[in-house]
Amino acid sequence: MIRLKVNGADRTYDGDPDMPLLWYLRDELGLTGTKYGCGMGLCGACTVHVNGKAVRSCSTSMSTASGKNVTTIEAIATRGLHPVQSAWIETNVPQCGYCQSGQIMQAVALLNGNKKPTDGDIDEIMSGNICRCGTYQRIRAAIKAAAKETA
C-alpha cells in the first residue's frame, strides 16, 4: 500500500508500484490538467511538483512518489490564480495550450528558487519543456512579468 499526499489530500494506492505518477493522477484521480506528451521525460508536459520540486510525472513511479507531497496544476494557486498563471493570461501565452500546465509548473519551480532569473536561467530551466506551437518568446516574457510581480 502506497500512501502519498496529492494537492493536500491523503491518498492510498495499491496498484502496480511501477505505474508512473502521471497515470495515477490522470486515470485514477481524474486530475487531467497534467498531460501526457512523451512518456520518457523528454517534453515536460507532465511536470508536477513533488515535495516542492518540479519532476516529470511520466518518469516518476508510484513507489518513488510514496510518502511524498504532490502538487499539480489544479492546486498550484492557494486561492484565485498563482502569479505565474496571471502572467500567462496577461501575456496571452498559450496557443493549443496542451503543454502549458507543464510549462507553468516548471516556471513556478524556477521562480520559487530564483526570484530574478536571467534569460540564461530561464533557458536552462525551461528548455526541458517542449512547446510545439512555439510560444517560447511569450513564456520568457511571462516569467519575467511574474518575477516582477512576486519580487
Partner 1 sequence: MSMIENVSRRGFLKGVVSTGAFVLSVKVLPQAAWGAVDTESTGTSQAFNRAVLHPDLFLAVDTDGTAYIIAHRSEMGTTSRTSLPLIVADELDADWKRVKIEQAIGDERYGSQDTDGSHSVREFFESMRVAGATGRLMLVRAAAQQWGVPESECSTDLHAVVHNKSNRRADYGQLVTGASKLAVPKKEELQLKQPSQWRYIGKGMPSYDIAAICTGKAEYGMDTKLEGMLYASIEHPPVLGGKVKSYDDKAPLQVRGVRHVIPIDPFTPPHEYQPLGGVAVLADNTWAAFQGRKKLNVSWDNGPNASYTSDEYRKQLQQTARQPGKVAREIGNVDTEFGKGGKVVEAEYYAPHLSHAPMEPPVALADYRDGQVFVWASTQNPQQVQTSISKAVGVPKEKVICRVPLLGGGFGRKSKPDYAVEAAVLSKKTGRPVKVVWKREDDIQFDYFHSVAAMYMKAALGENGRPTAWLQRSVFPPIASTFVAGATYGGPGDLGQGFSDIPFDLPNLRVENGPAQNHVRIGWFRSVANIYHAFGVQSFANELAHAANQDSVEYLLALIGPDRVLPKERAMPNYGAAYEKYPFDTARLRRVTEIAAEKAGWGKRKLGKGYGMGIAAHRSFLTYVATVVAAEVTSDGDVRIHEVNTAVDAGTVVNPDTLRSQFEGAAVFGTSLAMFSEITAKDGVIEQTNFHQYLVSRMNQAPRRTNIHIVESSAPPAGVGEPGVPPFAPALCNAIFAATGKRIRELPISKTNLSA
- CA–CA separation, 8 and 13 (whole Å): 16
30: alpha, beta or left? (left if phi > 0; alpha if psi -120 to 50): left
Name the burial class of residue 44, with classes exposed (0-12), middle (13-18) and buried (19+) by CB atoms within 10 angstroms of its CB.
buried
100 binds partner 1 per the rule CB under 8 A: yes
17 binds partner 1 per the rule CB under 8 A: no
- Rounded to a whole number of angstroms, the minimum distance from the CB of residue 51 to partner 1 is 20
151 binds partner 1 per the rule CB under 8 A: no
Q: Which stretch binds partner 1 (CB under 8 A): 49-57, 63-71, 95-103, 109-117?
A: 95-103
Q: Please select the residue that binds partner 1; options are 3, 9, 15, 67, rule is CB under 8 A.
A: 15
Residue 9 DSSP code: E
49 binds partner 1 per the rule CB under 8 A: no
Q: Rounded to 5, what percent of the chain is helix, strand, coil?
A: 40, 15, 45
Going by C-alpha positions, the residue among 129, 130, 127 that lies closest to residue 119 is 127
134 binds partner 1 per the rule CB under 8 A: yes
Q: Please select the residue that binds partner 1; options are 122, 145, 146, 147, rule is CB under 8 A.
A: 122
Q: Which residues are 80's β-sheet partners? A: none
How many chain residues interact with partner 1 (CB under 8 A)?
59
Residues making contact with partner 1 (CB under 8 A): 15-16, 19-20, 23, 26-28, 30-40, 42-43, 45, 72-74, 77, 81, 85, 88-89, 92-101, 104, 122-124, 126-140
